[in-house]
Amino acid sequence: MTSRLLTVAFALAALVFLALVAQPVGAAGQLVVGMTLVAAMLLIWPLARKGAGRLLFVALALGVVGRYVYWRSTSTLPDPSDLVDFIPGVLLYGVEMFSVLMLFVSLFVIADPKERAEIRVDDDADLPTVDVFVPSYNESADLLATTLAAAVAMDYPAEKLRVYLLDDGGTDQKCQSDDPVTAHAARARRTELRELCRDLGVTYLTREKNVSAKAGNMNAALPRTTGDLVAVFDADHAPVRSFLRLTVGHFLEDPRLFLVQTPHFFLNPDPIEKNLSLFKSMPSENEMFYGVIQKGLDRWNSAFFCGSAALLRRAALEDAGGFDGVTITEDCETALTLHARGWNSRYIDTPLIAGLQPETFSSFIGQRSRWCRGMMQILILKNPLFRAGLSLAQRVCYLSSSLFWLFSITRMTFVVAPLLHIFFSLEIYEANLQEFIAYTCVYMLANMMLQNYLFGRVRWPWMSELYEYVQSVYLTRAIVSVVLNPRRPTFNVTAKGLTLDREQLSEFALPYFAIFGLLLVAAGVAGLRWWMEPASRDLLAVVGLWNGLNLLIAGLALGVVSERAERRRNQRLDISRKGVLTLAGTPFPVLVEDVSSGGARVRPLGQRPQMARVGGSIGSLSIQSGETAAITTLNVAVRRNVHDERGLSLGASSSNCRPPSTGSSPT
């Protein structure tokens, strides 16, 4: 889609908006107009996903939004002479208009998502040299072994590939700490990880002091390495064998390219997916960002570095003085700097790593708080709106990515607003029931249809509301802390690979129960007042319905903070590959159904192994990824057997303490 077509599309949307806004219709007329537009959207929906049909659908939705904005701005604000109602009314109106602004900005960002063709380089002589950085702070050796082994096993000429473990948990500063416990742990970690790196053919690097967190760690490694490109993988992000083959070609095509970012794919559910048992049925939360938004950003040359699963050009990093570390989101900050210096980025929508998400709700909130505070730092300290060197589209895109995190303010405002009328009879939203249905309900319906049309493949309806709500309770405080002191936030590593022995309430659960209780009481008060105050029933019905929706989401959040047990230490990846299980010198053909760094589940094909005692059968498991791929052989111990509708399956754990370096990776 050309820029001219995009301009025409936005002009069409503007004309529809102005024409609808100019119509002086009452509630009944608005209901007819709004439902006509919604009906037209329903007709277009199954017929058009791209091109002019997509733009027409968006234009119709914006017509409904525009009519609501006009009515909301001219007919619903309280009388300015009554400051008790007017001040909170204007604050609520401002938050709503901010939400509408963010809708328009997001539509601009994803107007035409970029689909990139695959680029492969067949001649190894043309390939650049690559340094792989795996930054680490407190991750276990077992977790690091999986990622390092996968990085070493990537399909790339050995003479052009070097893998480095950047250990910030074994720095001189830590090893020489005045605290004997800290010093002992750091020295033991350094010794253990040096041995691990020696076994896997990886170079171990550490530094003198822990300065500037992850950005400082990688900057310390840059002058000690020489590769043309730098691949970055988090400690829990194991790359597939083809990672470099599918990314380096882009750098040969564009000499001003500084970044190729790939999506983050996760083996385990986040706490919301796990605690609500939705992991296998619901699209993952990150799919909306990596499946739609990053491709939209890529259209405007604004796809940004996400901290891992990426390849960067060393010359660009040196041009910018290394990785930026002013904020605690060094990845996006670095991309902003390089875009402003005229470098380009690309996004490839192909999952090429397998990683881990936070297992507990507290670690999930900790991770999102860091992202939120970092993006607020960028907004305040390095505001892209005033950053020289960026195009107008890039400014809008970076503003969108930063302002997005203000959702916690809007979400908590929408929770509190109906309570002001229910408990204190404040009239901050002047509308009767007919107007609420004609304007607000039709607007919400069109907005939900638009969101589902654009993101339905990667996000269930209303799930964004739940994700935003559970984060907002704590992120609001994080935003305030950054506003008060933008340079105060520090980088905290997100804990991964945690286990829970039993079901329990999260340590962060109390505010969610308190809010649910408050909303439940409000629902009862609203019902009582509706019964006893006939003159106020219209407005009470409106705020009662509003509070009821908040109550529903708050109720779901109680399930989110009720932690399910997580005893599995090694997350498994479902596969279907043939292999050979050898026990007591006898080979048995098997189907490997899942694998992890700790073992595999296999299903015998044909003859079944005869085992006197499960757990006492030691042997080996050989797996071949493809017809020409190397064979991975693991020493295993059969720990259990399970009978299901498909027959017998065996649970085999690896008897090696570390994944073998065999030229192949399970992922």
Q: Which residues are catalytic?
A: 168, 331
d(CA 420, CA 409): 17
d(CA 314, CA 259): 10
- Strand 599-604 relative to strand 647-654: parallel, antiparallel, unpaired? antiparallel
- Strand 344-347 relative to strand 257-261: parallel, antiparallel, unpaired? parallel
In order of 62, 473, 593, the CA distances from 67 in angstroms are: 8, 32, 54
- Is the distance from CB of 600 to CB of 633 less than 8 angstroms? no
DSSP character for 124?
G
What pairs with residue 261 in β-bridges? 310, 347
For every residue of 392-460, DSSP letters joined together read: HHHHHHHHHHHHGGGHHHHHHHHHHHHHHHHHH----S---HHHIIIIIIHHHHHHHHHHHHHHTTTS-
- Is the distance from CB of 486 to CB of 381 less than 8 angstroms? yes
For every residue of 187-236, DSSP letters joined together read: HHHHHHHHHHHHHHT-EEE--SS--SHHHHHHHHHGGG---SEEEE--TT
Coil/strand/helix, residue 552: helix
Residue of 526, 512, 520, 497 lying closest to 598 (CA atoms): 497
In order of 49, 50, 277, the CA distances from 57 in angstroms are: 9, 10, 34
- Is the distance from CB of 167 to CB of 136 less than 8 angstroms? yes
d(CA 276, CA 467): 12
Residue of 289, 238, 243 lying closest to 267 (CA atoms): 238
d(CA 345, CA 258): 6
CA atoms within a 13 Å half-sphere pointing along the CA-CB vector of 370 = 19
Number of Cβ within 10 Å of residue 534's Cβ equals: 8
d(CA 376, CA 183): 35
User: What single-letter amino acid sits at 567?
Assistant: R
User: What single-letter amino acid sits at 649?
Assistant: S
d(CA 391, CA 108): 14
- Is the distance from CB of 403 to CB of 379 less than 8 angstroms? yes
For residue 325 the two structure tokens come to 């570390």
Number of Cβ within 10 Å of residue 228's Cβ equals: 15
- Is the distance from CB of 214 to CB of 491 less than 8 angstroms? yes
